[in-house]
Amino acid sequence: QKEVEQDPGPLSVPEGAIVSLNCTYSNSAFQYFMWYRQYSRKGPELLMYTYSSGNKEDGRFTAQVDKSSKYISLFIRDSQPSDSATYLCAMSLRIQGAQKLVFGQGTRLTINP
Amino acid sequence: SAVISQKPSRDICQRGTSLTIQCQVDSQVTMMFWYRQQPGQSLTLIATANQGSEATYESGFVIDKFPISRPNLTFSTLTVSNMSPEDSSIYLCSVAGGNTIYFGEGSWLTVV
Protein backbone atom coordinates (compact mmCIF):
# COMPACT_ATOMS: atom_id res chain seq x y z
CA GLN A 1 0.00 0.00 0.00
CA LYS A 2 1.32 3.42 -0.98
CA GLU A 3 1.73 5.94 1.81
CA VAL A 4 -0.28 8.50 -0.16
CA GLU A 5 -3.00 7.63 -2.66
CA GLN A 6 -4.36 10.13 -5.17
CA ASP A 7 -6.68 9.48 -8.07
CA PRO A 8 -4.65 10.38 -11.18
CA GLY A 9 -7.74 11.33 -13.17
CA PRO A 10 -7.85 12.87 -15.68
CA LEU A 11 -10.68 15.05 -14.44
CA SER A 12 -12.53 17.33 -16.85
CA VAL A 13 -15.20 19.81 -15.71
CA PRO A 14 -16.95 22.85 -17.21
CA GLU A 15 -15.90 26.35 -16.29
CA GLY A 16 -17.56 27.59 -13.12
CA ALA A 17 -17.95 24.14 -11.59
CA ILE A 18 -16.78 23.23 -8.10
CA VAL A 19 -13.85 20.86 -8.22
CA SER A 20 -12.99 18.38 -5.49
CA LEU A 21 -9.56 16.75 -5.41
CA ASN A 22 -8.76 14.12 -2.82
CA CYS A 23 -5.94 12.15 -1.23
CA THR A 24 -5.84 9.44 1.38
CA TYR A 25 -2.85 8.45 3.44
CA SER A 26 -1.86 5.59 5.69
CA ASN A 27 0.82 7.07 7.94
CA SER A 28 -0.79 8.77 10.94
CA ALA A 29 2.56 10.44 11.73
CA PHE A 30 2.15 12.92 8.86
CA GLN A 31 1.94 16.37 10.38
CA TYR A 32 1.80 18.81 7.48
CA PHE A 33 -0.36 18.73 4.40
CA MET A 34 0.16 20.56 1.16
CA TRP A 35 -1.32 21.00 -2.27
CA TYR A 36 0.86 21.91 -5.23
CA ARG A 37 -0.25 23.04 -8.66
CA GLN A 38 1.91 22.09 -11.62
CA TYR A 39 1.45 23.45 -15.10
CA SER A 40 2.75 21.45 -18.02
CA ARG A 41 6.56 21.20 -18.01
CA LYS A 42 6.89 23.55 -15.05
CA GLY A 43 7.91 23.06 -11.45
CA PRO A 44 5.25 22.51 -8.77
CA GLU A 45 3.93 25.66 -7.14
CA LEU A 46 2.82 25.56 -3.51
CA LEU A 47 -0.89 26.34 -3.39
CA MET A 48 -2.06 25.52 0.11
CA TYR A 49 -0.38 24.42 3.30
CA THR A 50 -2.01 23.32 6.54
CA TYR A 51 -1.21 21.25 9.59
CA SER A 52 -4.44 20.80 11.49
CA SER A 53 -7.75 19.13 10.86
CA GLY A 54 -10.40 21.42 9.49
CA ASN A 55 -10.69 23.83 6.61
CA LYS A 56 -8.33 26.52 5.35
CA GLU A 57 -9.55 28.95 2.76
CA ASP A 58 -7.58 31.11 0.33
CA GLY A 59 -9.66 32.86 -2.31
CA ARG A 60 -11.35 30.24 -4.48
CA PHE A 61 -9.36 27.43 -2.89
CA THR A 62 -10.23 25.51 0.28
CA ALA A 63 -8.00 22.83 1.78
CA GLN A 64 -9.66 20.33 4.08
CA VAL A 65 -7.90 17.89 6.38
CA ASP A 66 -9.54 15.04 8.29
CA LYS A 67 -6.85 13.37 10.36
CA SER A 68 -9.23 10.85 11.90
CA SER A 69 -10.08 9.51 8.44
CA LYS A 70 -6.60 10.17 6.99
CA TYR A 71 -8.15 12.12 4.17
CA ILE A 72 -7.40 15.50 2.64
CA SER A 73 -9.23 17.47 -0.03
CA LEU A 74 -8.78 20.55 -2.15
CA PHE A 75 -11.88 22.37 -3.34
CA ILE A 76 -11.78 24.89 -6.16
CA ARG A 77 -14.81 27.17 -6.48
CA ASP A 78 -15.82 28.99 -9.65
CA SER A 79 -13.20 27.04 -11.59
CA GLN A 80 -11.44 28.82 -14.43
CA PRO A 81 -9.62 27.51 -17.54
CA SER A 82 -6.41 28.84 -15.96
CA ASP A 83 -6.91 26.27 -13.16
CA SER A 84 -6.18 23.52 -15.70
CA ALA A 85 -3.08 21.82 -14.34
CA THR A 86 -1.92 18.79 -12.42
CA TYR A 87 -2.59 19.01 -8.68
CA LEU A 88 -0.32 17.12 -6.32
CA CYS A 89 -1.03 16.47 -2.69
CA ALA A 90 1.95 16.12 -0.39
CA MET A 91 2.43 15.25 3.25
CA SER A 92 5.38 15.61 5.49
CA LEU A 93 6.77 14.70 8.86
CA ARG A 94 10.04 15.30 10.63
CA ILE A 95 12.37 12.36 11.06
CA GLN A 96 15.48 13.02 13.14
CA GLY A 97 15.33 16.70 12.35
CA ALA A 98 14.91 16.20 8.61
CA GLN A 99 11.72 16.82 6.68
CA LYS A 100 10.35 13.79 4.84
CA LEU A 101 7.90 14.69 2.08
CA VAL A 102 5.71 12.17 0.28
CA PHE A 103 3.75 13.11 -2.84
CA GLY A 104 0.62 11.70 -4.34
CA GLN A 105 0.56 10.70 -7.99
CA GLY A 106 -1.09 13.96 -9.04
CA THR A 107 -4.53 14.58 -10.58
CA ARG A 108 -4.66 16.11 -14.03
CA LEU A 109 -7.48 18.65 -14.14
CA THR A 110 -8.95 20.32 -17.22
CA ILE A 111 -11.47 23.18 -16.98
CA ASN A 112 -13.42 23.51 -20.20
CA PRO A 113 -14.58 27.01 -21.26
CA SER B 1 9.40 31.67 -0.08
CA ALA B 2 12.79 31.54 -1.86
CA VAL B 3 13.31 32.25 -5.55
CA ILE B 4 14.92 29.22 -7.17
CA SER B 5 16.51 29.39 -10.62
CA GLN B 6 17.52 26.36 -12.62
CA LYS B 7 19.62 26.02 -15.75
CA PRO B 8 19.09 24.67 -18.31
CA SER B 9 15.31 24.84 -18.46
CA ARG B 10 15.33 22.15 -21.10
CA ASP B 11 17.78 20.20 -23.21
CA ILE B 12 17.97 17.36 -25.65
CA CYS B 13 20.89 15.08 -24.87
CA GLN B 14 22.62 12.27 -26.68
CA ARG B 15 22.66 8.82 -25.16
CA GLY B 16 25.84 8.17 -23.18
CA THR B 17 26.60 11.82 -22.44
CA SER B 18 26.37 13.67 -19.14
CA LEU B 19 24.63 16.93 -18.28
CA THR B 20 25.00 19.19 -15.28
CA ILE B 21 21.99 21.09 -13.96
CA GLN B 22 22.59 24.22 -11.92
CA CYS B 23 20.38 25.52 -9.12
CA GLN B 24 20.69 29.01 -7.67
CA VAL B 25 18.69 30.25 -4.67
CA ASP B 26 18.25 33.90 -3.79
CA SER B 27 18.85 33.30 -0.08
CA GLN B 28 21.07 31.07 2.03
CA VAL B 29 19.53 27.69 2.76
CA THR B 30 20.86 24.76 4.72
CA MET B 31 19.21 21.95 2.81
CA MET B 32 18.58 21.62 -0.91
CA PHE B 33 16.81 18.72 -2.51
CA TRP B 34 16.90 17.21 -5.97
CA TYR B 35 13.79 15.48 -7.32
CA ARG B 36 13.05 13.61 -10.50
CA GLN B 37 9.65 13.52 -12.18
CA GLN B 38 9.36 11.03 -14.99
CA PRO B 39 6.64 11.60 -17.62
CA GLY B 40 3.19 11.19 -16.11
CA GLN B 41 4.61 10.32 -12.71
CA SER B 42 4.85 12.00 -9.35
CA LEU B 43 8.00 13.37 -7.76
CA THR B 44 10.75 11.12 -6.49
CA LEU B 45 13.48 12.40 -4.20
CA ILE B 46 16.96 11.72 -5.59
CA ALA B 47 19.10 13.17 -2.83
CA THR B 48 19.45 15.81 -0.14
CA ALA B 49 22.39 18.18 -0.45
CA ASN B 50 23.79 19.92 2.61
CA GLN B 51 26.58 22.45 2.30
CA GLY B 52 29.91 21.09 3.49
CA SER B 53 28.97 17.42 3.49
CA GLU B 54 28.32 14.60 1.08
CA ALA B 55 24.85 14.40 -0.39
CA THR B 56 22.49 11.81 1.04
CA TYR B 57 20.99 9.61 -1.68
CA GLU B 58 17.63 7.87 -1.58
CA SER B 59 17.23 4.19 -2.30
CA GLY B 60 17.68 3.50 -6.00
CA PHE B 61 19.92 6.49 -6.66
CA VAL B 62 23.73 6.39 -6.55
CA ILE B 63 26.43 9.00 -6.54
CA ASP B 64 28.14 7.64 -9.66
CA LYS B 65 25.00 8.21 -11.69
CA PHE B 66 23.85 11.46 -10.03
CA PRO B 67 26.86 13.30 -8.56
CA ILE B 68 25.87 16.41 -6.63
CA SER B 69 27.89 19.42 -5.58
CA ARG B 70 26.97 21.95 -2.90
CA PRO B 71 29.80 24.47 -2.77
CA ASN B 72 27.91 27.13 -0.78
CA LEU B 73 24.58 27.93 0.84
CA THR B 74 22.94 29.32 -2.33
CA PHE B 75 24.07 26.96 -5.09
CA SER B 76 24.02 23.29 -6.05
CA THR B 77 24.52 21.18 -9.14
CA LEU B 78 23.19 17.79 -10.15
CA THR B 79 24.89 15.83 -12.91
CA VAL B 80 23.05 13.11 -14.78
CA SER B 81 25.80 10.80 -16.01
CA ASN B 82 25.94 8.38 -18.91
CA MET B 83 22.37 9.19 -19.87
CA SER B 84 19.92 6.73 -21.36
CA PRO B 85 16.36 7.34 -22.62
CA GLU B 86 15.08 6.23 -19.19
CA ASP B 87 16.66 9.38 -17.76
CA SER B 88 14.27 11.58 -19.74
CA SER B 89 12.54 13.48 -16.95
CA ILE B 90 12.03 16.80 -15.28
CA TYR B 91 14.73 17.36 -12.68
CA LEU B 92 13.69 19.71 -9.91
CA CYS B 93 15.73 21.60 -7.37
CA SER B 94 13.94 22.50 -4.15
CA VAL B 95 14.59 24.09 -0.79
CA ALA B 96 12.96 23.74 2.60
CA GLY B 97 10.89 26.60 3.97
CA GLY B 98 9.30 26.08 7.34
CA ASN B 99 7.62 22.69 7.22
CA THR B 100 7.24 22.54 3.47
CA ILE B 101 9.42 22.85 0.39
CA TYR B 102 9.53 25.11 -2.63
CA PHE B 103 10.52 24.14 -6.13
CA GLY B 104 12.38 25.66 -8.99
CA GLU B 105 10.96 25.68 -12.51
CA GLY B 106 12.66 22.40 -13.33
CA SER B 107 14.99 21.18 -16.05
CA TRP B 108 13.31 19.11 -18.75
CA LEU B 109 15.75 16.59 -20.21
CA THR B 110 15.05 14.44 -23.22
CA VAL B 111 17.60 11.74 -24.02
CA VAL B 112 17.72 10.52 -27.60
DSSP per residue over B74-96, as a string?
TEEEEEE-S--GGG-EEEEEEEE
Partner A contacted by B43 (CB < 8 A)? yes
Q: Tell me the chain A residues in contact with residue B90 when contact means C-beta distances shorter than 8 Å.
A: 41, 43
Q: What percent of chain A has pLDDT over 90?
A: 77
- SS3 of A81, please? helix
pLDDT band at A106 (very low <50, low <70, confident <90, very high): very high
Q: Is the Cβ of B10 closer than 8 Å to some Cβ of chain A?
A: yes
- The backbone torsions φ and ψ at residue B86, rounded to the nearest 5 degrees and listed phi first, read -65, -15
Percent of chain B scoring above 90 in pLDDT: 81
Please give the Cα distance from B51 to B59 (Å, whole number): 21
| Cα(B82)–Cα(B19) distance, integer angstroms | 9
User: B96 at the A interface (CB within 8 A)?
Assistant: yes
Q: Does position B94 have pLDDT exceeding 90, yes or no?
A: yes
CB pairs under 8 A between A and B: 51
Judged by CB atoms closer than 8 Å, whether chains meet at B108 and A41 is answered as yes
Residues of chain B in contact with residue A32, where contact means CB-CB under 8 angstroms, are: 99-100
Question: Chain B within 8 Å of A39 (Cβ-Cβ)?
Answer: no
Query: Strand, coil or helix: what is B111?
Result: strand
CB under 8 Å to A59, separation ≥6 — which residues? none
Q: Which residues pair with A14 in a beta bridge?
A: A112
Instruction: State the pLDDT at residue A100.
Output: 81
Distance of CA B64 to the CA centre of its chain: 14
pLDDT at A12: 96
Among B32, B38, B34, B23, smallest CA distance to B108 is for: B38
Q: What is the mean pLDDT of chain B?
A: 93
B53 touches chain A (CB under 8 A): no
| Alpha carbon separation from B103 to A75, A94, B38 (Å, rounded) | 23, 19, 16
**Minimal C-alpha gap between A98 and chain B (Å):** 9
